[in-house]
Structure 1
Amino acid sequence: MKRTGRVSALIALTGAVCLLPPAVAHADKTPPGGGGIGGSSTPDGTISATAGGIAYDRSKNGAGTSVGPLAPVGNWTPPACWYAPKYSPAEFKAYVEPIWNADSTGSSWDATQRDRYVNGKPYTNFNLDKADKGYWWDSYADPSFPPGWDACQKPYFWVDKGAPPPADIPEAITPEVLGKLAYAAIRVPTTKVTLKPDGASKVNLPTWAWLDKTDFHPVSVTASVPALGISATTTATPVSLKLEPGTADATLSPASGECPINADGSIGTPYQAGSADNAPPCGVTYRRATSGTPYNLKATVTWKISWAGTPAGGGDLPEGTFGQDQQVTVQEIQAVNR
């Protein structure tokens, strides 16, 4: 049976939204990392303790107004829901007893809950005798993934400090789950490439394109659960730039439109005087002029994604992409007769 009568509040989480109960009176020690109740942040917003008892360190993430989330390649999505520590024994008691006393969930349901958490079937008196020895765990979910929320409907359960969560709960928070959640928090810079000519391009004249190494470098986000001493850092590293000219009347260089990253971290090669007639390492040659409406040149950077966990774990996650359109006007080359 699904839990009913639970009041939920919407709290922003790394650009998405997660469900968590409203804050309760803290009659006991709050679990480290906020226990999932509310959160805090540094003045610059790079480190925050948010829903799920998860703290996000964004100090090495992409920053500024021209950043955005990655689109994973394929059908992969971050976890839709997970279980993590939420309450100390006293906090749990303070949260559920008013709900039972209000009879908002029905006397039969309330009696079942009292049996489970108070009368020893299987827990006794909210585990108040275990204060500071563990936490009550609950589910958290991104409501953008309703099927995931349906998958995380187990009742509150207790986990002793240092003990693993029950084996029948695959959605329990782990370094690997943190690595996937950190993926969703990564922000990368927009892919506005530098073009030469930087004004109007000319028919049959190569247009050079490049990205500077100072703008495109690895970014990372670390997600951790201080209450459990686990964390994961997910890193996105740019690996290639793909150009799509916005018209069939164009020739790409290289022919695939895929421009690999250079050894120094840049993509493509800046134009130098005297190279106007040469095929650029990364660029496009338009064969037809625009007539009123510019071409939409799309530049998409592919990022390799990997994660490393503490105390252990790591590996690769699906690559992500982030692209941007740029308008390009192409003119005919005007010949001058003397």
Structure 2
Amino acid sequence: MPAIRTRQAVLPLVAGALLLTTAPAYAGTGDDFGGDQTHVGGGAKSDDSGGGSVSATAGAVVFDYSHNGSGAKAGPVTAASDWTPPACYYAPKYTPAQLKAHLEPIWAVDSTGYEWDAKQRAYYVDGDYPDFNKEKTGKGYWWDSYVTPGREGEPGALDCDKQIFWVDNGEAPPADAPQAITPEMLARLAYAEVRVPSTKVRLAPEAASKVNLPTWAWLDAGDVAPVSVTASVPLLHISATTTARADSLAIEPGTPDARTLPASGACPLVDGRIGEPYAAGKANRTPPCGVTYLRSSGDTTFPLRATLTWKIHWTGTGVTAPQPLPDGRFGAEQDVTVREIQSVNR
């Protein structure tokens, strides 16, 4: 019998769905979860500041933000390539009773037409899954599509158009559902949730740089500490942790009349920090990271931009060796005042 899908691309979550005592798995065990997690069956997604340690999307995927970046100026990384996290995915949504409770009221009001409803009943009631597969209650779930929060309206959000399908406990999702939730898919979803700290660099001189004298720039260890987000599906006992580690800082002085230090403008991570703090006695040294301005900013400032590249990888259920994901970048601008060196002739 041909597959028949309801006309709704993404079905709303039935009240109480996924808040179940059974926890089937097609990979891994409950011990695969990382961190102190609370299994949440529904609720609002955490804000971008990382506030709150655990939250959920529509109910299937739970995020642990306890090791994520936080603060008002923290933000999401942008992939260095054209790669983007998935805009939709398939995951468990209904028990047999819950799917019945969802579909029968739709058929009762004939909102989708008799012919359509008849095909639906033939598939979910009289076909391969009698009475919504009631006999397999507790032995599997009906899976449906979810749209990743924040990606609504994007073309990719409509890619998950497969009809609601059944997956037995212990079995992998069907091959014709490539967006089905897996540890790798969880890692990609977690990528979109990663928040990294602000890249506002520390500068010396702090108040105003001087023409033709190097300005030291650095980020302390706390500014470049690794961050991570864990995504899990409690019903399936699978999880994945996506981790971002600082790699190098690119400095753009905000004017062509400047030289970066080093000349490439890329300052690597060394001994847990980027650059080196200025201290007394270093006036005659060349900073490992910084910029030399060749002219004054006059009555304005130069918009120095610092962009940090983060190396990103994931591990998860059944995957212990770190797997690479595209590098991420996050940057910020800060105003720099540059003054001429004042001298007095006597």
TM-score of the pair, normalised by structure 1: 0.89
Q: CA deviation at 1:277?
A: 3.6
SS in 1 for 2:222: coil
Q: Secondary structure at the match of 2:146?
A: strand
Q: Does 1:106 align with 2:110?
A: no
8 Å Cα contact 1:297/1:326 also seen in 2: yes
Distance across 2 between alignment mates of 1:31 and 1:106: 36
More deviation in 44-53 or 244-253?
44-53
Q: Deviations over 1:6-25 (max 9, x none)?
A: 3x8xxxxxxxxxx6505436
Question: Could you tell me how far 1:226 is from its partner in structure 2?
Answer: 1.0
Classify the secondary structure of the residue corresponding to 1:214: helix
**1:235 aligned onto 2:226:** no
Q: In the alignment, is the contact (CA less than 8 A) between 1:253 and 1:283 conserved in 2?
A: yes
Residue 38 of structure 1, aligned match among 30, 35, 42? 42
**What's the offset of the Cα at 1:284?**
0.3
Amino acid aligned to 1:128: K
Greater Cα offset, 31-40 or 91-100: 31-40
Q: CA deviation at 1:273?
A: 1.2
Q: Which residue identity does 1:208 align to in structure 2?
A: W
Asked if 1:180 corresponds to 2:188, the answer is: yes
What residue in structure 1 maps to residue 155 of structure 2? 147
RMSD: 2.5
Cα distance 1:2–1:286, how it changes in 2: closer, same or farther (>3 A)?
Answer: farther
Is 2:134 aligned against 1:128?
yes
Distance in 2 between residues matched to 1:144 and 1:62, nearest whole Å: 25
- Corresponding residue for 1:95? 102
Aligned to 1:292: 299
Match status 1:302 vs 2:293: no
Residue of structure 1 aligned with 2:264, choices 237, 256, 259: 256
Q: What residue in structure 2 maps to residue 13 of structure 1?
A: none
- Contact in 1 for aligned 2:202/2:217 (Cα 8 Å): yes
Q: Work out which of the residue numbers 200, 205, 213 in structure 2 matches 1:205.
A: 213
- For residues 27 and 46 of structure 1, the distance between their equivalents in structure 2, rounded to whole angstroms, comes to 20
CA 1:225–1:26: 2 relative to 1, 3 Å: closer
User: In 2, distance between residues paired with 1:71 and 1:144?
Assistant: 18
1:1-12 to structure 2, matched below 5 A, reads: 3=5, 6=8
C-alpha distance after superposition, 1:5-52 (max 9, x if no partner): 53x8xxxxxxxxxx650543669947759999633799x621123225
* Structure 1 unaligned blocks of 5 or more: 9-18
Question: Pick from 222, 230, 238: which aligns with 1:214?
Answer: 222
1:12 aligned partner: none
Write out per-residue CA displacement over residues 81-111 of structure 1, whole angstroms, 9 at most, x where no aligned residue.
1111001111111111111111111111111
Displacement of 1:236 in angstroms is 0.1
Equivalent of 1:162, from 170, 192, 214? 170
Q: 1:174 to 1:27 in 2, by over 3 A?
A: closer
Q: 1:105 & 1:31 partners in 2: Cα distance?
A: 34
| Residue 93 of structure 2 is aligned to residue 61 of structure 1 | no
Change (3 A) 1:284 1:226: same
Tell me, in whole angstroms, the C-alpha distance in 1 between the residues paired with 2:326 and 2:280: 40
SS in 2 for 1:261: strand
Matched residue type, 2:116: W
Distance 1:173 1:114, change over 3 A: same
1:53 aligned counterpart, secondary structure: coil
Q: Deviations over 1:240-282 (max 9, x none)?
A: 111000011001100001000012x111000011322432100
Native 8 Å contact 2:199 2:223 kept in 1: no
Q: Secondary structure at the match of 1:61?
A: coil
1:39 maps to amino acid? G
How far residue 171 of structure 1 moved from its aligned partner, in angstroms, is 1.1
Q: Size of the alignment, in residue pairs?
A: 324
Q: 1:28 to 1:124 in 2, by over 3 A?
A: farther
The answer as to 2:334 corresponding to 1:326 is yes
- Larger RCO, structures 1/2 (Cα 8 Å, 6+ apart): 2
2:92 aligns with 85
Measure the CA separation in 2 of the matches of 1:28 and 1:281.
54
